[in-house]
Chains A and B, each alone.
Chain A
Amino acid sequence: MTNHHRIAGNGQIQFGVFFQGVNHTTVWKDAQSGSQTDFESFRRVAQTAERGLFSAFFLGEGLRLREHLGKIHDLDVVGRPDAQTALAALAAITTNIGLVATQNTTYNDPADLAHRLASLDLLSGGRAAWNIVTTDNAWTGANFRRGGFLKHEDRYVRAEAFVQTAKAIWDSWADGAIAGSRNDPRWLREDAITTVKRQDESFDVEITGRLPRSSQQHPVLFQAGDSPDGRDFAVRNADVIFSAHPELEDAKKFRDDIVARTLKAGRPADDVKIFPGQEFILGATAAEAEEKHQWVRSLQVGPETAIAYLEQFWGRTLTEYDPDGPLPDIDPLVDVTNPTRGNAFHGKSAKDLVAQWRADAKENGQSIRQFVAARSRLNGRGLVGSYDDIADKLAEYAHTGAVDGFNITPWIVPGGLDDIVNELVPRLQDRGVYRTEYEGTNLRENLGLRAPLTRRGSLSSTQLTESEEVA
């Protein structure tokens, strides 16, 4: 089992880019930082990524603006377009790159979301993908017809039923459903559509699919859940995991775990691809990169951001504390932490947490800013180094097969990919670990994926039994 990551690796590294649009990791205080909303920023990033032969361009989703101590959080970049609408526009001005929309299963209807994803897939010539996420809180539900209706423990139940229904919708048009010639009796062959009926604890619907399949059959499915349930959900349903494990040793362990789960789910070992999120800070020399790294971190976690971060856990304002001094010596106001609404943290006993933090910061000699900067880098330090060193490091990833690629989160928009595409990609190509042209015309081909699970001869029988309630 320990060698499973070698089975899955193919000696290559791919890149995706995640245009975040919301978060403190996108620097806005520098003069090079452009609009987060203007279409031109999206065009520039997507076309630069395509010039660099990236596999995918990602957009996130948030259905309610983050709040902090009861008010709209005002320190970070915020305000982004609907993912699929922006991607549909990008489809017209790109030709090969995959277009990935983060969309949640809680505040959407399968009939609508599956149709929109199929639409994006046809518009882009088979380049659409769906990053499946869930939201369960009533606070987000306040923006939607059904309000907060879902219990936390049921979110994956609904997600799985949702994904099965979406796949059934995508499978509902028979091959050759559309007239082969202008003289056929009808544009749509009679009885060419199977109605999708689903009745369970999550849905009571009857849906007629409204579109045929694209050249890649189904949109590619990405999933980011990291809990054991999330991982099992991924290996049952998804094609690619957008993981939180970029460091090499950790990535190998994660690959082993996913391979084991994938095999257990009855799929080939390399059936689920892994793309950790990663930040790249590069320079011509290691020293230049390190200097840039310090500068980027100082812009990402400014004094106000550092204090606001702690305020989430103290439950009160802390503006009287010096961001360059030690952590506050007072106890938090609330017993259970109340992090910024819309951020993905979980409540713990605030008092214990804060006591632990104080001890850690003291031991490491960290100020508030230094502590927060380190703490808010959940995925490690990022890849910091010279173009050559990072190219060597990525070649090592490729050879171990720990990951299939990286989903790059640029720290600045819209120029954040320029040095990666201009400097790093050619060095990776020289090392033989990065494509020199796109392998195929659709995303599934470019990611090296097999046909969708429900459309494989050998596997379709298993799949049908699992979802037989989906007619």
Chain B
Amino acid sequence: MTSTPVPEFRSRVIALELDGDGAHPASWRKAHHDPQALLGGQRIRETVQAADIAGFHAATFKDSRVVDPGSTGIAGRIDAIQRAAFAAPITRSIGLVPEAGTLFTEPFHVATQLASLDYSSLGRAGWLVTADNLAKEARSVGRTQLPEGEAVSEAADVVQASRRLWDSWEDDAVIRDVATGRYLDRDKLHYADFDGERFSVKGPSIIPRPLQGQLVVFAPAELIPAVEADVALVSADTTDDLPQAAQAAASAGAPRTLVELDVILDSRGQTAEDRLAELDSYEEWTGGARYVGNAEGLVELLTTLFAAADGVRLKPAVLDVDLPELANKVLPELHRSGLVVPPLPGATLRETFGLPRPANRFAAA
């Protein structure tokens, strides 16, 4: 059906994790606001608009369904889909990609919330699939952890059910035919009829097909190929290991790959090493592959990584410090190099990723 052609040149993608005050557990100590001012709309407005203006292709929003009692860091998060929705009408080109869990949530709710986000963002929504098999989360909804090894298949089922719900309305199902009095063409609505191992969903969805047809689905590389995703998030212990990991994910069938990179930069006359040492003195940062250094070095590293991956997801240590450095020194340089082109206002996230708008699985050929 409606399939947009894929352009020959594809910009490399720079995504950004917008979580709390940054990825470092001590980020809140260096934030430019009181700790109690974090959990509200104002903070999301400031950070997502800065990222939008800087030309990031996508922002991801971390979610958590339990509180980590062990950390000294930020222990509260506003629902990720709602943060993304709040960001939607106040941004123009950045993709909005919330995490949403699959194991202990209702697939019907998750699918319709994400479809709604696609409407609020005019087609800039994505979904970062998570499948944390946590006993505490299970207990909070009166269930128990899934047996070992079943989390991945359950996540795959939830993604499949969501995709069927998104397609349960054909694009032109709303006809508003005054002559016959019909608002809908009911032949263009379909029961999702998903029957999984642990749940089933009848459908159709309560909201028409998302503007993008299907949202861009992101998933950690270890869920692929079981989970039908568009973008694999590839992590490794060191930056040296990232290219190989990205290639492995691509071979496993991921249409696009983003490598995960923790970032802390020189800023305001302080070296990245000194900043990290100070932050780590409160609580150590246990992330994944990490870049610690100046902006020029990061541009160089990213250029190398782009040979193996379609893009990167940056996790800045402290948003109020590292985001301005990225916006002022790193992104402009990448734009100048021609490897990275900022997203166009009005473009859908699928277009930003060079992914075609998929045909509807239920539509008659």
Q: A115 to B75, alpha carbons, bound, how many Å?
A: 14
* Cβ-defined contact, A123 with B207, below 8 A: no
Write the chain B residue with the least CB distance to A192: B75
Tell whether B74 is near chain A: CB-to-CB under 8 Å: yes
Say yes or no: B141 contacts A143, CB within 8 Å.
no
Stretch from A71-79, A345-353, A460-468 contacting the other chain: A71-79
Once the chains bind, are B142 and A205 in contact (CB under 8 Å)?
yes
Within 8 A of A (CB), among B185-212: 185-186, 189, 198-204, 206-208
Q: Is B2's CB within 8 Å of the partner chain A?
A: no
CA–CA, A142 to B161, complex, Å? 13
Known pairs A109-B140, A303-B181 / 10 extra A-B pairs, C-beta < 8 Å: A28-B176, A37-B119, A75-B183, A78-B183, A81-B112, A85-B85, A85-B113, A182-B35, A187-B75, A207-B140
Q: Closest CB-CB distance, B118 to chain A, in whole Å?
A: 10
Asked if B341 is at the interface of the complex by the 8 Å CB criterion, the answer is: no
Asked if A123 contacts B117 (CB within 8 A), the reply is no
Given A71-B186, A74-B183, A79 contacting B206 (CB threshold 8 A) = yes
Q: Do B202 and A143 touch across chains, with their CB atoms under 8 A apart? A: yes
Residues on A with beta carbons closer than 8 Å to the beta carbon of B335:
none
Residues of B within 8 A of A182 (CB): 28-31, 35
Which residues of the partner chain B approach A362 to less than 8 Å between Cβ atoms?
none
Taking a contact as CB atoms under 8 Å apart, the answer to whether A74 and B182 are in contact is: yes
Q: Does B275 contact A (CB under 8 A)?
A: no
Q: Which of these binds chain B: A48-56, A86-94, A250-258, A399-407?
A: A86-94
Q: Which residue of B lies closest to A211 (CB)?
A: B76
Interface readout for B98-137 with A: 1 if CB under 8 Å, 0 if not?
A: 0000000111110011011101101000000000000010
Contact of B180 among A37, A116, A145, A304 (CB under 8 A): A304
CB of A187 within 8 A of CB of B82, answer no
Contact at B119–A81, with CB atoms within 8 Å?
A: yes
Question: B72 at the A/B interface (Cβ < 8 Å)?
Answer: yes
Taking CB atoms, residues of chain A closer than 8 Å to B108 are 63, 107, 143-144
Listed by A's residue number, 25 A-B pairs whose Cβ atoms lie within 8 Å are A29-B181, A37-B119, A39-B88, A39-B122, A64-B206, A72-B184, A82-B115, A85-B117, A88-B85, A88-B86, A89-B120, A109-B142, A123-B41, A142-B201, A142-B202, A144-B106, A178-B36, A179-B36, A182-B30, A183-B29, A188-B75, A193-B67, A206-B140, A208-B136, A210-B65
Knowing A39-B119, A205-B141, say if A64 contacts B85 (CB, 8 Å).
no
Contacts of B66 in A (CB 8 A): 208, 210
A84 to chain B, nearest CB (A): 7
The answer to whether residues A79 and B208 also contact, given A74-B185, A211-B78, A212-B76 and a CB cut-off of 8 A, is yes
* Count of CB-CB pairs between chains A and B under 8 Å: 223
- What B residues does A264 contact at CB under 8 A? none
Instruction: Enumerate chain B residues within 8 angstroms of A329, measured Cβ to Cβ.
Output: none
Q: Is A111 an interface residue (CB 8 A)?
A: yes
Q: Name the one of A76, A79, A107, A204 contacting B207, with C-beta atoms under 8 angstroms.
A: A79
CB of A124 closer than 8 Å to a CB of B: yes
Say which residue of A112, A142, A186 sits within 8 Å of B141 (CB atoms): A112
Task: Report if B308 contacts A (CB, 8 A).
Answer: no
A120 at the interface (CB under 8 A from B): yes
Decide yes or no whether A180 CB sits under 8 A from chain B.
Answer: yes
Instruction: Tell me, yes or no, whether B56 is within 8 Å of chain A by CB.
Output: no
- From B40, B67, B169, B181, give the contact of A75 (CB < 8 A): B181
- Whether A210 and B28, one on each chain, are in contact in the complex, defined by CB atoms closer than 8 angstroms, is no
Given A91-B86, A112-B105, A305:B78 Cβ within 8 A: no
Cβ–Cβ contact B106 & A107, under 8 A: yes
Q: Which residues of B are interface residues toward A (Cβ below 8 A)?
A: 28-31, 34-36, 38-41, 44-45, 64-67, 71-79, 81-83, 85-90, 105-109, 112-113, 115-117, 119-120, 122, 136, 139-142, 169, 174, 176, 178, 180-186, 189, 198-204, 206-208
> Is A123's CB under 8 angstroms from B82's CB?
yes
Among A193, A210, A302, max chain B CB count under 10 A is at: A210
In the complex, are the beta carbons of B178 and A29 less than 8 A apart? yes
- With an 8 Å Cβ cutoff, the count of chain A residues facing the other chain is 75
On chain B, the residues within 8 Å of A90 by CB distance are 89
Contacting A187 at CB < 8 Å: which of B45, B72, B181, B208? B72
Chain A residues in 8 Å Cβ range of B184: 72, 74, 78
**A305:B89 contact, CB within 8 angstroms:** no
**Residues of chain A from 99 to 116 with CB closer than 8 A to chain B in the complex:** 107-109, 111-112, 115-116
Q: Give complex CA distance A396, B115 in Å.
A: 44
Find out whether the CB atom of B208 lies under 8 angstroms from the CB atom of A302: no
Chain A interface helix/strand/loop/mixed: loop
Please list the residues of chain A having a beta carbon within 8 angstroms of any beta carbon in chain B: 28-29, 36-39, 43, 62-65, 71-72, 74-82, 84-86, 88-93, 107-109, 111-112, 115-116, 119-120, 122-125, 142-145, 147, 178-188, 193, 203-212, 302-305
Give the shortest distance, in Å, between B177 (CB) and chain A (any CB).
9
Contact A143 B90 (CB under 8 A): no
Q: Which residue of A lies closest to B38 (CB)?
A: A178
> Closest CB of chain B to A187's CB: distance in Å?
5
A204 to B141, CA, bound (A): 8
A3 to B181 alpha-carbon distance, docked (Å): 48
Residue of B nearest to A68 (CB): B186
Given contacts A75-B183, A210-B65, A210-B77, contact A85 B139 (CB under 8 A): no
Complex Cα distance A49/B204, Å? 32
**Whose C-beta in chain A lies nearest to the C-beta of B173?**
A79
Query: Are the CB atoms of B89 and A89 closer together than 8 Å?
Result: yes
Among A91, A120, A145, A184, which residue has its beta carbon within 8 angstroms of that of B35? Answer: A184
- A contact residues around B107 at 8 Å (CB): 145
Residues of B with C-beta under 8 A to A116: 79, 82
Closest to A203 in B: B142
Asked whether, in the complex, the Cβ of A88 is within 8 Å of the Cβ of B82, the reply is yes
Contacts A65-B189, A80-B206, A143-B201; is A186 near B72 (CB within 8 Å)? Answer: yes
In the bound complex, residues from chain A placing their C-beta under 8 Å from that of B169 are: 79
In the complex, residue of chain B having the shortest beta-carbon distance to the beta carbon of A124:
B41
Asked whether, in the complex, the Cβ of B90 is within 8 Å of the Cβ of A111, the reply is no
Compute how far the CA of A107 lies from the CA of B141 in the bound complex, rounded to whole angstroms: 12
B106 touches A119 (CB 8 A): no
- In the bound assembly, the distance between CA atoms of A36 and B29 in angstroms comes to 45
Q: How far is the CB of B323 from chain A (nearest CB, A)?
A: 18
Q: Which residues on B sit within 8 Å (CB–CB) of A82?
A: 109, 112-113, 115-116, 206-207
Chain B residues, Cβ within 8 Å of A111: 65, 140-141
Is there an interface contact between B116 and A125, defined as CB atoms closer than 8 Å? no
Give the residues in chain B near A109, CB-CB below 8 Å.
106, 140-142
Does the CB pair B207–A187 fall under 8 Å?
Answer: no
In the complex, how many angstroms separate the beta carbon of A322 from the nearest chain B beta carbon?
A: 15
| A74-B182, A208-B67, A212-B39 known; A64-B202 Cβ under 8 A | yes
